[in-house]
Amino acid sequence: MKILLTGRNGMLGNDLIEILKGSNHEIISTNTSNLDITKLNEIHEKVDEVNPEIIINSAAYTDVDGCEIKKNLAYNVNAIGPKNLAIVANKSNCSLVHISTDYVFDGNQKSYAEEDETNPINVYGKTKLEGELFVKENLNNYFILRTAWLYGLHGSNFVKTMLNLSKNNNEIAVVNDQYGSPTFTRDLSIAISKIIETDNYGTYHITNSGNCTWYDFAKEIFKQTNIDVTLKAVTSEEFSRPAPRPKYSILNNKNWKKIGFKPLRSYKEALKEYLSLELNE
């Protein structure tokens, strides 16, 4: 398939390129400098030039705390960007994969299925939800894929932060009252490469299996790397940040299983592969 990809410099974008090329797709990958998704005319021009069968939008403004300050930027990239892509996809008869987030939920229930009520509690989540709604409003052939707690080889992420902190600290404080499913961008990319082979359009939750708190995840990282560091469990209130985070954002991958796909492997197995790649680079 001929695929137009946005966000090629991103953590997910990098892995998507590798995985999709490996599945014999033709990828035309873009970044902000050659396709700014906030600019409708640029998307029209690019899609006319490339004529893709599918657009995958992995571009976003993902700095959750930054979104609280740069609200306009967050709205433009996370809401207007996907709206523009959906408008052009609809006009050009191609489908759209749009990546969204667990942060569209408020975190007041233990886990969330695709149809559960959304109620974001920070600007990032609000703008990502607006992006989802615009996609649904402007296009039928869409995949909205909500994922969570991403880490990968090509970007800063929680695992790298923990490994770096352990170099200069004997004790690290980690939040122990937020629950989620850490997800390896390579596993998500493989899942995306599978779902685009179908025409089961709709909204999906896709994460690695299992769940934990950030504290549990840090414990697993140091267990698997045999690093001796003391972890101190703290509450979200103690570890205050500009944007509130949902307490529970475990995504039930119900629709993914319903269309016949196996659950993604456990986050612990995925972490093992990630660490072997990361530490041997």
Ligand X SMILES: NC(=O)c1ccc[n+]([C@@H]2O[C@H](COP(=O)([O-])OP(=O)(O)OC[C@H]3O[C@@H](n4cnc5c(N)ncnc54)[C@H](OP(=O)(O)O)[C@@H]3O)[C@@H](O)[C@H]2O)c1
Q: Which residues contact 233 (CB under 8 A, 6 or more apart)?
A: 173, 174, 175, 176, 215
Q: Which residues pair with 151 in a beta bridge?
A: 184
Contacting ligand X (CB under 6 A), which of 4, 5, 10, 89?
10
Known catalytic residues are: 124
* Residue ranges in 27-56 that form contacts with ligand X under rule CB under 6 A: 31-32, 35-38
Rounded-to-integer distance, Cα 78 and Cα 57, Å: 10
58 binds ligand X (CB under 6 A): yes
Instruction: Kindly give the pairing relationship between strand 250-251 and strand 142-147.
Output: unpaired
Count CA within 13 A, CB hemisphere, residue 61.
26
Contacting ligand X (CB under 6 A), which of 59, 162, 191, 250?
59
Rank residues 64 and 232 by Cβ distance to ligand X and give the closer one: 64
11 binds ligand X (CB under 6 A): yes
75 binds ligand X (CB under 6 A): no
Contacting ligand X (CB under 6 A), which of 17, 61, 74, 121?
61
SS3 at position 171: strand
Shortest Å distance, C-beta 276 to ligand X? 21
SS3 at position 216: helix
Contact (CB, 8 A) for 145 and 264: no
155 binds ligand X (CB under 6 A): yes
- Nearest-CB residue to ligand X? 10
What tokens does 220 get?
């697993």
Q: Which residues contact 223 (CB under 8 A, 6 or more apart)?
A: none
Backbone φ and ψ of 142, nearest 5° = -120, 150
Rank residues 9 and 266 by Cβ distance to ligand X and give the closer one: 9
77 binds ligand X (CB under 6 A): yes
Contacting ligand X (CB under 6 A), which of 84, 101, 178, 249?
101
Shortest Å distance, C-beta 75 to ligand X? 11
Q: Which helix (H) or strand (E) holds 35?
A: none
Number of amino acids touching ligand X (CB under 6 A):
28
Using CB under 6 A as the criterion, which residues of the chain lie in contact with ligand X when the complex forms? Answer: 6-7, 9-13, 31-32, 35-38, 58-62, 77, 81, 99, 101, 128, 147-150, 155
